[in-house]
Structure 1
Amino acid sequence: MARNRWRSPKQLFSLTFLSFVPSAFVIALLLVARVGGALQQLELAAFDWMLRSRPAEPADSRITIIGINEADIVRIGSYPIPDQELAELLLTLQRYDPAAIGVDIFRDLAVPSGSDAGGESGTAALERVFLQHSNIVAIQTILPGSGGSIVPPPPFVPPEQVGFGDFVLDRDGSIRRSLLGSLDLQDQFQLSLAIQLANLYLSPQGKSLQNGEIDPQAMRFGDTEIPRFRPNTGAYVRADAGGEQALLNFRSGRQPFRQVSLADLTTGNVEADWFQDKIILIGMTAESAKDTVTSSAVNIDNPSLFYGVEAQAHAVSQIVSAVQDGRPLLQVWAGSWEFAWIIAWGVLGLLLGRWGRSPLRILAMVGLAGVVLVAICYGSLLGGWWIPFVPALAGLMLNGTGLAAAALYRQEQDLRMRLIERQAVIEQTFNSIHNGPLQTLASLLRQAAQSDDISPDFYAGLTGLNQELRGVYESVRKEVLTESDRLYLSLNQELDLKAPLHELLYDVYTNVLERQFSGFQSLKIKVVKFEPMDDRHLTVEQRRSLCRFLEEALCNVGKHAICPTRIQVACMQNNGMNQISVIDNGKVAASVSGTQEQVPVSLSKSGMGTQQAEALAKELSGTYQRSSRSPHGTACELLWHSQKSHRRVFK
């Protein structure tokens, strides 16, 4: 039964409203979850993944790390590194005329060596180096550590040569922000090691540290203003934004900076241009020193073995690279724009779910939209903009897949309703046949059984007709109540419509020719050809109709052809056309007067079989022909293009 696919405006409004309400609820729930911080860790994880997945950048040649590793500690013979060794290292580096040196090693207490007994002590030598060279920056902490204490700078270092090395940790223990400046416990504003080194490097170029122009509380070098971190920046919710902070745009790649060991420097296994006019960072890269931080945004095998001196190098590099190379600093949209972005993707999921008719189509479109969203967010991050990804993706997926599930449910309900309607039509039709023709047939059977003038063959024919009519009802009823991809030629033969078409048609041919029709009794020659056909674009219902077409054509031969001796059946593909043809050489039934041939009703232009065949040909964009053959016989042929996609049209 064809169903009207078009709905009234009132129905469309009702369906749209019913789908809009849950979609709007999903969007509102996502916005509340984001404002409440429920999505923060997921968004930060996605943020780390995108930063980690960026293409590798060239190593920043302006920065060189001198990492004191386990082999250096073994060679020196003590840890911490004595003041004398550190002083000699700084003097060696000064010969290369570096722009700035950052000592990421705490020196709040003197570390004497065995050679300090005579002559100048190592601590005095270290003090002299710091006082003579203003391009060296020592380190301190201003944030209380796990024990509540802070680490002061070396007592002999001038305040302008001190920078703190603290990083602000997120709830998961990772660093994603750089602390640029903050008040210490004495309410003195202090600058970070990264800011001090960047200022030493950029000041000779006329780009010294200043207050921002767009945001007076921000920091600026030349025309480059560092965006200030706020409590609700990006995915953060009520984060600690004390002091001057900025999102840390880690340099991508596994080797973002040149790194040499202390042994390389002392043995001369270095190049002069690695240090001249460069920023040099000295720090511990020995695991036993435990000077590590955690960050999942850097592309290393073990994020927990991210050395503190490397983190300082990233913090310096992002400032210098932004000023000199225009490398983007990370920024975020205003909160209102982020909310509009999340709502837009939720609405898009709703529209895709309403536009797509089938669940698979909806899922395909939602999946494609999800890929586009990933590409937009990833590309924006490459350009320095961190825009909401997780809530936008959740809104798209929840609304889109939710409507896909609803569409699947609607399809199942529609199928169920169609089955109920078909079953009702079948029951009504059979009741009409049962209360009319079948009752008449039963009366004729009783009269024939009591009459001596009725031949046994005629009585057997009436009995067979009674069983056939009742069998048709059971077959059709069984076909409706079971899977829609089954065809029942009889109560005992079931065909799987998903099988290759030529195999289905051969099974139909075999079944029909086993029926006790008079036209089949005289057959002597059967010429059949069943070859593979192009059935890729055929629907299950079209396959069913093709099987019924062949069944009808063969039954016409068996019922109406008079004494045929030859039948020719071809189901094959020929010259880009699929073909089903049935040709016999029998005579057709004569008229009452016997003076002219009369075409059986089932084969006439007004017959039901012909009307169904012509409708099938039109649906397949093919042709149907029925013609008489000389001197006797009838040809019935259906042709359609093998590679054309067909779609049932509902009116």
Structure 2
Amino acid sequence: MAFRTRAWELMLEGRLGLGIIGVIVGLRLLGLFQFLELLTLDRLQQLSFSEPTDPHITLIGIDEAYLKHSDTAFLQYTDLAKLLETILVYQPTVVGVDMVIDDLSGTEKSRLLKLFEENEHLLTVEKVRPPMIAPLEGLSEEVVENQVGFNDFSLDDDGNVRRMFLGWTPIGSLSFRKSLALLLAERYLYEHRGLELENGIRDPDAMRFGDVEIPRLDPNAGGYFKQSSVYGIQTLINFRSGLISGGNISQPFKILKASDVVKSSFSKEDISQKIVILGLLDPSNVIKFGSAVPLRLIYNKDRLTGLELQAHAASQITSAVINGSPLIWFLSTPLEYAFIVVFGIAGISIKKAATSTLNGLLCLVAVGFLLILTSYWSLTLGGLWLPAAPALLALVINGVAYVAVAQSENRWQVLVQERDIALAALKLERQKTIEHAFDTIHNGPLQTLANLLRLIRDNQISTEKVGDELKRLNQEIRDIGESLKQDAISDDNLYIKVGNSRLDLSIPLHELFYEIYRETLERPFPGFQMLKIQARSLEPIEPENLTIECKRKLCRFFEETLCNVGRHAIGATRLTVTGKTIEKSYCLRIVDNGSGLQSPKVSRGRGTKIACELEAVLKGKFIRKNNYPRGVFCEFRWVVS
């Protein structure tokens, strides 16, 4: 029976964890993790290893200095032809001109067309996605077929570039077109490695050079979900990072300026037997790259020119074939979800090691670190893009949930004890709240009501005045309601309602006494009507042993005593309030010259009750007696040190 019960408990616990895994899997199937997974891919690539400058690729940028002699803002056909002739002298393996006809101007282009016709390793570009731009006019069909590649890149939903085209059959065309980056890599690898472009083995629709098969993206590959912009043959770009050496960051590619090339201000080895890509260096001609670009690559820039982007696309293919650098690939869909489930179950299993909350959380952190490290090394060393984000989420949620479950039984007794203590504290707090509310009502509306009843009984108030007093009473009651609401939502309860003011109990005690004195004497009590002399002197005091609750009771005692003067000291002309330190005690004294006590026996009013409570708490002494020759003498003295 016990075994059955335990098995049932384990099943219930497993159902919770499997349910969480099921929710995460379902959310990923709906594509809700796409942004998070792409962001994770970016962050992992930012931590990639440093790489030296690519020795196979050189970029030549058309700079402003080279364009100065032109009559227009565009490069002339003849100037481009001269520049290409200069470059071809140094015998590059292949030259790619990443400039569409919209970047060129002039009427004489026969010299340029002749260069393309005579040099099969001279490539140019077109745009096959809207807005489409045709290749250079006048090229033969053979040149268009073999030496023209498209330079389009596809953007992700966040506007970043993470993918490159390898090839595509444009809509309305029967001809399969290759990208410029693929053509550059294809010519270079054929010349230097004797490798031709072939269909893939694992994926017949993919492309390969020798044993290196370029992973082909589909709309649901990796972290993508029904990505409509994934069509044709595309692959992820493994951006090349620079090399950090001695605190300096080298560029991933050698970059020459066209103005330096025509002056031969460069080394022959920079061009000879290399891939040369020619394009604009105009800062306005830039493409937003994904945050996947390694931090060491960007040199404090947040954008790359199209020229640089073409270089990264071609470089990853040549580097993969020549140097064995990884291309980014991904698991099949079942294996990706198996990866998520495994780490989700690992989160459930942490319960077994959770001998304490700290121990369980340390285990969770260790497994989470292992997951991140596995994802990082898989991507950096092998190019494998794992679903780290949903797996980590399944691990963390299950881990936290089951660590909590594991500790619930151990904490039960503690919680029971804490509950009993909390109930006792709640009862005490409720009692204090009732007392605070009663004190506020007693020293506010009840005092006003008592004063009004006395005036009506003695026929000393008109009907109009009665109405005014009732309005005052109504407002005081409403103010108390608002004050109690504020106290209810306040965590610290550091305020006390006196008259029309809400005083902060954290300020010094003598300042509180001054405020209470001012507020109370403004009330229309008969004992205050004939006062001619009001003497007050309150020395500063703020002893360490005086709690907020004690300060509240002292304030209530002081207010109640002043209210008693106002209600009972009829005919008083003098009121003296003093507070001073005598030896090691503080003495608060209120003396009037009113009608005095009617009975020698001290009544047990609210003020007397508060004074008695303070006597017990502060080890104080309360005195109230008739003053000589008339009036009342009231004093409360307590030890302050």
Give the unaligned 5+ runs of structure 2.
243-248, 423-641
Question: Residue in 2 aligned with 1:622?
Answer: none
Aligned amino acid, residue 398 of structure 1: I
Question: Residue in 2 aligned with 1:137?
Answer: 123
Aligned amino acid, residue 314 of structure 2: V
Describe the superposition over 1:491-534 as per-residue Cα deviations: whole angstroms up to 9, x where unpaired: xxxxxxxxxxxxxxxxxxxxxxxxxxxxxxxxxxxxxxxxxxxx
How far the C-alpha of 1:273 sits from its partner, in A, is 0.7
Question: Residue in 1 aligned with 2:260?
Answer: 264
Inter-partner Cα distance in structure 2 for 1:339 and 1:384? 19
Question: Residue in 1 aligned with 2:315?
Answer: 317
How far the C-alpha of 1:132 sits from its partner, in A, is 2.0
Matched, 1:177 2:157: no
Is the contact between residue 162 and residue 289 of structure 2 (CA under 8 Å) also seen in structure 1?
no
Aligned amino acid, residue 286 of structure 1: D
Is the contact between residue 100 and residue 278 of structure 1 (CA under 8 Å) also seen in structure 2?
yes
Aligned runs of 1:152-171 on 2, under 5 Å? 152-157=134-139, 158-159=143-144, 160-171=146-157
Inter-partner Cα distance in structure 1 for 2:71 and 2:394? 60
Aligned amino acid, residue 222 of structure 2: G
SS at match of 2:114: helix
Instruction: Select which of 106, 111, 116 maps to 1:125.
Output: 111
Cα 1:266–1:349, aligned 2, differ >3 Å: closer, same or farther? same
Matched, 1:186 2:173: yes
Aligned amino acid, residue 155 of structure 1: E
Inter-partner Cα distance in structure 2 for 1:55 and 1:213? 30
Question: Residue in 1 aligned with 2:29?
Answer: 35
**TM-score, scaled to structure 2:** 0.60
How far the C-alpha of 1:211 sits from its partner, in A, is 2.0
**TM-score, scaled to structure 1:** 0.59
Inter-partner Cα distance in structure 2 for 1:419 and 1:302? 55
Aligned amino acid, residue 344 of structure 1: V
Inter-partner Cα distance in structure 2 for 1:176 and 1:150? 22
Question: Residue in 1 aligned with 2:56?
Answer: 62
Aligned amino acid, residue 154 of structure 1: L
Instruction: Select which of 83, 90, 98 maps to 1:89.
Output: 83
Cα 1:422–1:191, aligned 2, differ >3 Å: closer, same or farther? closer
SS at match of 2:201: coil
How far the C-alpha of 1:188 sits from its partner, in A, is 1.6
Question: Residue in 1 aligned with 2:215?
Answer: 227
Aligned amino acid, residue 274 of structure 1: D
Describe the superposition over 1:378-433 as per-residue Cα deviations: whole angstroms up to 9, x where unpaired: 0000111111100110011011112234445544433133678999xxxxxxxxxx
Matched, 1:99 2:97: no
Question: Residue in 1 aligned with 2:46?
Answer: 52
Inter-partner Cα distance in structure 2 for 1:168 and 1:420? 61
Question: Residue in 2 aligned with 1:473?
Answer: none
Question: Residue in 1 aligned with 2:272?
Answer: 276
Question: Residue in 1 aligned with 2:332?
Answer: 334
SS at match of 1:79: coil
How far the C-alpha of 1:177 sits from its partner, in A, is 1.4
Question: Residue in 2 aligned with 1:293?
Answer: 288
Question: Residue in 2 aligned with 1:248?
Answer: 237
Aligned amino acid, residue 53 of structure 2: A
Aligned runs of 1:110-509 on 2, under 5 Å? 111-112=105-106, 122-144=108-130, 149-157=131-139, 158-159=143-144, 160-184=146-170, 185-204=172-191, 205-240=193-228, 241-253=230-242, 255-288=251-284, 290-299=285-294, 300=298, 304-382=302-380, 383-407=382-406, 409-417=408-416
How far the C-alpha of 1:237 sits from its partner, in A, is 1.1
Describe the superposition over 1:352-376 as per-residue Cα deviations: whole angstroms up to 9, x where unpaired: 0343022211111101111111110
Aligned amino acid, residue 208 of structure 2: R
Cα 1:229–1:106, aligned 2, differ >3 Å: closer, same or farther? same
Inter-partner Cα distance in structure 1 for 2:155 and 2:418? 62
Is the contact between residue 352 and residue 366 of structure 1 (CA under 8 Å) also seen in structure 2?
yes
SS at match of 2:75: coil
Percent identical residues: 34
Inter-partner Cα distance in structure 1 for 2:361 and 2:287? 45
Inter-partner Cα distance in structure 2 for 1:407 and 1:102? 64
Inter-partner Cα distance in structure 2 for 1:65 and 1:307? 11
Give the unaligned 5+ runs of structure 1.
1-6, 113-120, 424-651
Deviates more, 1:84-93 or 1:201-210: 201-210
How far the C-alpha of 1:22 sits from its partner, in A, is 2.0
Question: Residue in 2 aligned with 1:454?
Answer: none
Question: Residue in 1 aligned with 2:633?
Answer: none
How far the C-alpha of 1:77 sits from its partner, in A, is 5.9
SS at match of 1:19: helix
Cα 1:367–1:133, aligned 2, differ >3 Å: closer, same or farther? same
Cα 1:410–1:260, aligned 2, differ >3 Å: closer, same or farther? farther
Describe the superposition over 1:324-347 as per-residue Cα deviations: whole angstroms up to 9, x where unpaired: 122122111111111111001000
Is the contact between residue 353 and residue 401 of structure 1 (CA under 8 Å) also seen in structure 2?
no
Matched, 1:22 2:16: yes
Inter-partner Cα distance in structure 2 for 1:419 and 1:297? 51
Is the contact between residue 211 and residue 219 of structure 1 (CA under 8 Å) also seen in structure 2?
yes
How far the C-alpha of 1:126 sits from its partner, in A, is 1.5
Cα 1:16–1:126, aligned 2, differ >3 Å: closer, same or farther? same
SS at match of 2:149: strand
Deviates more, 1:207-216 or 1:161-170: 207-216
SS at match of 1:287: coil
Inter-partner Cα distance in structure 2 for 1:293 and 1:54? 20
Inter-partner Cα distance in structure 1 for 2:99 and 2:286? 9
SS at match of 2:109: helix
Inter-partner Cα distance in structure 1 for 2:51 and 2:364? 33
How far the C-alpha of 1:292 sits from its partner, in A, is 2.3
What root-mean-square deviation, in Å, do the aligned CA atoms of Structure 1 and Structure 2 show? 2.4
Question: Residue in 2 aligned with 1:485?
Answer: none
Deviates more, 1:49-58 or 1:97-106: 49-58
Inter-partner Cα distance in structure 2 for 1:354 and 1:294? 45
Is the contact between residue 74 and residue 104 of structure 2 (CA under 8 Å) also seen in structure 1?
no
How far the C-alpha of 1:102 sits from its partner, in A, is 0.5
Inter-partner Cα distance in structure 2 for 1:216 and 1:420? 68
Cα 1:25–1:74, aligned 2, differ >3 Å: closer, same or farther? farther
How far the C-alpha of 1:8 sits from its partner, in A, is 5.3
Inter-partner Cα distance in structure 2 for 1:8 and 1:59? 68
Is the contact between residue 36 and residue 389 of structure 2 (CA under 8 Å) also seen in structure 1?
yes
Report the count of equivalent residues: 404
Is the contact between residue 354 and residue 403 of structure 1 (CA under 8 Å) also seen in structure 2?
no
Inter-partner Cα distance in structure 1 for 2:98 and 2:111? 18
Inter-partner Cα distance in structure 2 for 1:56 and 1:237? 31
How far the C-alpha of 1:264 sits from its partner, in A, is 2.0
Inter-partner Cα distance in structure 1 for 2:367 and 2:274? 46
Is the contact between residue 111 and residue 123 of structure 1 (CA under 8 Å) also seen in structure 2?
no
How far the C-alpha of 1:97 sits from its partner, in A, is 0.2
Aligned amino acid, residue 89 of structure 1: L
SS at match of 2:272: coil
Aligned amino acid, residue 357 of structure 1: T
How far the C-alpha of 1:223 sits from its partner, in A, is 2.4
Inter-partner Cα distance in structure 1 for 2:166 and 2:157? 20
Describe the superposition over 1:281-319 as per-residue Cα deviations: whole angstroms up to 9, x where unpaired: 01122213x242322111315664211111111111111
How far the C-alpha of 1:108 sits from its partner, in A, is 5.6
Inter-partner Cα distance in structure 1 for 2:324 and 2:387? 24
How far the C-alpha of 1:73 sits from its partner, in A, is 3.9
SS at match of 1:55: coil
